[in-house]
Structures are given as C-alpha cells and as structure tokens.
Amino acid sequence: MVFFMEMTLRWYGSKFDTVTLKQIRQIPGVTGVITTLYDTAPGEVWSRERIRAMKEEVEAAGLHVAGIESVNIHDAIKTGAPERDKYIDNYIETLENLGKEDLHLVCYNFMPVFDWTRTELARMRPDGSTVLAYTQEAVDALDPEKMFESIAGDMNGTVMPGWEPERMEHVKELFEMYKEVDDEKLFENLKYFLKKIMPVCDKYDINMAIHPDDPAWSVFGLPRIIINKKNILRMMEMVDNPHNGVTFCSGSYGTNLENDLPDMIRSLKGRIHFAHVRNLKFNSPTDFEEAAHLSSDGTFDMYEIMKALYEIGFTGPIRPDHGRMIWDEVAMPGYGLYDRALGATYLNGLWEAIVKGAK
C-alpha cells in the first residue's frame, strides 16, 4: 500500500513572517501551511472570526491550513496553579472554534519558561551560512534571566516563538512559578490538562500533537519530560486516546544522541499526527548546530527517518524545520525561505524514492 503525507511549511502570518504565501505556493510539492494567530497570548480564546479570516487568507493564495502550531498553553496550566481551570476552559473554547472551522490538528508544547533554547542564532558555518546552535558550556555560564539578552541582537528584527519580549520581561517571575514543579508534577499537570480537553478533541476529531522539549534535557534546572521514548510512551498510556499524540520532531528528540529516531517513530505508530524533519550536526554531545536537511551535512540518516514514517503508514502533515540563513537572506532565524524550500524538496525526493522502492 502506498501512503501519502502532505508537505507543508510553517507560516507565522502576513504581519509577522518575512516569507509570503505566494512564495510558499511556488515551492514544488508544498500544498499547505502550518500557522497560528501569532499575536494571541497564552490563555486567550481564539474567535471563530479570526480563525476563519486566517483560513480565507491562506486559501486565497492557493494553499490550505493543514494544522495549527501553536495554541500556547498558559503557565497556570503547566504549574497546576489554582486558576488553571479558567485557562483550560478558554483552551477548550479555542479548540471548539477550531473544530467548527474544520481544523483538526494542534501542535503544542509543555515546556517551562523557554519553549526552546539556543545559545547562538547566527553561528557561521564553513560555507558562509549561519545557523542556530547550542552549547551546554554557554548555558552553564549564563544567568537565565540574561538568556534573552544574549540572543536578542541576532533576531533580525523579528519576534521569535517562545521568546516574545513581553514574556521575557518576566523571566524571574516565571522561574519562581516553577520552583516547586519537578518532572513528576509536570507529568501530573499534563495529564490533568489532557483529560480535560479530550472530550472536545473527540467531538471535533482534533489531534493534539505534543512537541518534544528542545533540547531533550533539563536546562537551568527546569523540568523537561517530553524527551525520549520512555517518557512519550508514558504520556500515551496515562491518557490513552488516539487524539493524544505527538509531533515527531527529529531535531528536538535528536538533540539527545541516545534517542534512536527511527525506532521511536516505529514505537509510536498511529500516534504521530505531525512531523518536523530536520538535521543536526554535532561537534560534541552537548554542542550541536542546525545543518542543511541533507543527510551528509549533519548527523542523522534522513532517509531512515522518512522510511520509518512511511513504514508506520504516516499520512499527516510534515514540514522541514529550522533552515540555515543562505544567499544573504534576512529573516527570522531558522525560518527563512530558501533553505526550508530546499529542505522540503529534498524530503519530498526521499519520500518519492521510498514509495517507489516499496512498490
């Protein structure tokens, strides 16, 4: 049997993204976008009117909305604060509105304080491209309250997801909120959230696809739970509903070289609702940088990753992830047009080779 996935590109909306829908439409094989209402705050209800306007804008460009990334989760939910039920009710209302507008995929994360962590946004590679990079030594030397300041100058005038200035102004308060939250407590709070939202997911057939923590280990002593096969299977079992699934991000799980990415994919058959496929180049186990998507440019065997997705019958949206800055492009670091377009075309080529090889 031949399985078909859908190639997509992440798009932050015309007010925030340097890449246009017209440009995305011209990437061979890309038929949809993964988007969001980027100017909404965690805990805010998304109205049907705004969701519909977003869909109509994308469809007018000859594409469609393949999924949402992200409906961000309020810290009260992650920390289990007394007011969490209010924010869960708001989240449920947003899911209802998405379902009514025929959108059925939400990628989200449950990471404390920082959605993802990099110590450099523009590390120069030998070919002259620049990439996102991480070194544990740099993190260990940083005051977490100064983390945003250390990278803000390389954002090219954009607002990066998870690093919104208004959020970063309250880093000290956020750390205080999480001081009593360890891995077990974070698991409990995630379970509570998922159990509350599953009825609306069942009603509207909405797949919740949790994104792994990035990097896949504790940073600044904060708990990290979506980091490996054992933990993700635990999450599946604690709320055993097919709508409780994952975004399989090879770059995030791959930050820990102990994670066998093709094996993880095969262990999650039926529960991978969305895939981010990208490559990393390791200089040491705790020093890595984003690479081109091509296998030979980094550490991962991209063919085997795509082959594992095919073998489990994956039919959801897939997208290239963090790209290099190449050809003098100035864009949101990791989210320019050129290298992600190359990545999409490369991944489509791998998929075509796998499909033909399976016949």
Residues known to be catalytic = 211, 249, 276, 321-322, 335
Map residue 107 onto helix, strand or coil. Answer: strand
Q: Who contacts 109 (Cβ-Cβ below 8 Å, separation ≥6)?
A: 70, 73, 115, 210, 211, 212, 213, 226
Cis peptide bond N-terminal to 70, omega within 30: yes
Measured on CA atoms in the order 25, 28, 31, 35, is the torsion positive or negative? Answer: negative
Spatial separation of the C-alpha atoms in residues 25 and 338, rounded to whole Å: 13
Q: Provide the 10 A C-beta neighbour count for residue 94.
A: 24
Q: Which residue has the tokens 């954009």?
A: 158
Q: Are strands 6-10 and 317-320 parallel, antiparallel or unpaired?
A: parallel
Measured on CA atoms in the order 314, 259, 257, 243, is the torsion positive or negative? Answer: positive
Q: Do 218 and 245 touch, CB atoms closer than 8 A? A: no
Q: Provide the 10 A C-beta neighbour count for residue 168.
A: 17
Spatial separation of the C-alpha atoms in residues 88 and 331, rounded to whole Å: 34
Residue type at position 48: R
**Most distant CA pair in the chain, distance:** 56
Beta strands in the chain (DSSP E): 6-10, 30-35, 64-69, 105-108, 120-124, 130-135, 207-210, 244-249, 272-277, 280-284, 287-290, 317-320
Q: Do 211 and 235 touch, CB atoms closer than 8 A? A: no
